[in-house]
Structure 1
């Protein structure tokens, strides 16, 4: 069976990403704005990658359904009363059945290629968003530690300034400064990594989509070739215009029969 099994990725789950916490002034304004912009781009990219898989599934399901219908049509044509008593019609039915069987093989090959060149690479790509979400949570945890130490310092500064408290205030300032430096380092590294990740998206997706289009071109070209073979010189002994005239003449004869009620 070639219908896509969606167990490997739930396209309808909510985004793995959550907005970064506001730094409340503990990082550069430019860095915070840049991170928010990157987050927006990440959301869009994650949504687009899911849509590619979802729409490709619809395309493949439609392709499979059309192929199944054609298989049924070709299978039922040969033993039908239309073909049984006419050697010409029987020959055409058998040839059509053969072509339909070959297009089934083409359909399966085409879908296999789509899986290898598009679905599997994008599935792997989508797993990266979970890692990004983890990195953003780690950044937020560092920020929360800064806020915690900042609140601790403020509470100490509100107390009486005796020797014991002054010592605690001094240590709290050092702890806060170290935490701020660590947070800014983590925040900057995250920004740089996200920029690099987004800059590489085209290089990753381009060969996937190019292979997808090429697979479709090859599939339809080979299908057209098979159908064109049906219309060889023995089947097209008369022109399309002559065929239309013959059909009109035969239909007129049928309508003239007494058993036909023409309203």
Structure 2
């Protein structure tokens, strides 16, 4: 998310320390990079499985074309060789299809679900930024009345400004604290989330992952990150 500065009066009182802002920006920047990397990995995995299937389909076509070649009518040894090749290519294609189906369930789909969390995170950051701008605007307004002569009308307006400021300040502090607590947790949880996917990918590659099987870690972890 791009930071869009608001043209508002800046309060003299520092309402958010530079350390807090620096920590917030650092954590959010890490999550933005994680979002980009997750989307790229999801895209690359889809391309990989599509290429894998295309290769085995092409191999099946080649073996079928060879088997139907007129040469097969003249040489039984050639027929036997092409039949064996065709059988092997079809088995490879079947294995590839099963492997791709498993990768779809255990890697590609979880990557898509994980990417689906980021829009909500970005929206929460936008709400926090809007709350901060409202906080600054009302703090600046209250400070202006504090600097004026303490006449009756000024004191009334100062009281109103402070009353208006209070819920906005509380709202920002809640949003700020929640994000500062949750962003590091979500970032560190990525390892626990992706490890079962990569383990399943390895098992699918060596043909030991049974079709339809989900690593048990998925079921609990999806609930933890709020994906389901």
TM category (shorter chain) comes to 0.7 to 0.9
SS of the residue corresponding to residue 206 of structure 2 reads helix
Structure 1 segment 99-138 matched on structure 2, within 5 A = 99-138=88-127
CA distance in 2, matches of 1:201, 1:60: 23
Q: CA 1:217 to 1:207, structure 2 compared with 1: closer, same or farther past 3 Å? A: same
- CA–CA distance in 2 between the matches of 1:201 and 1:91? 52
- Partner of 1:33 in structure 2? 22
Q: Does 2:49 correspond to 1:60?
A: yes
* Superposition TM-score, scaled by structure 1 size: 0.70
Q: How does 1:55-204 map to 2 (within 5 A)?
A: 55-157=44-146, 161-204=150-193
Q: Greater CA deviation, 58-67 or 31-40?
A: 58-67
| CA drift at 1:180 | 2.7
Gaps of 5+ in 2: 209-228
Structure of higher CA gyration radius:
1
Q: Unaligned 5+ residue runs, structure 1?
A: 1-16, 220-263
Partner Cα separation in structure 2 for residue 215 and residue 79 of structure 1: 33
Contact 1:74 1:96 in 2 (8 A): yes
Q: Normalising by the residue count of structure 2, what TM-score does the alignment of the two structures yield? A: 0.80
Question: Can you list the C-alpha shifts for 1:42-80, whole angstroms capped at 9, x where unaligned?
Answer: 111101111111111221122122112211111111121
1:147–1:172 CA distance, 2 compared to 1 (3 A): same
Give the corresponding residue for 1:231: none
The number of aligned residues is 203
Give a deviation string over 1:161-183, Cα, whole Å, max 9, x none. Answer: 42011121133234435533432
Other structure's SS at 1:218 match: coil
* Alpha-carbon contact 2:138-2:161 (below 8 Å) kept: yes
Matched, 1:212 2:201: yes
Deviation at 1:81, TM superposition (A): 3.2
CA contact (8 A) 1:49 1:126 kept: yes
Give 1:49's match in structure 2, choosing from 33, 38, 44: 38
Residues 185 and 141 (structure 1), Cα distance of their counterparts in 2 relative to 1, 3 Å cut: same
Identify which range, 140-149 or 104-113, moves more after superposition.
Answer: 140-149
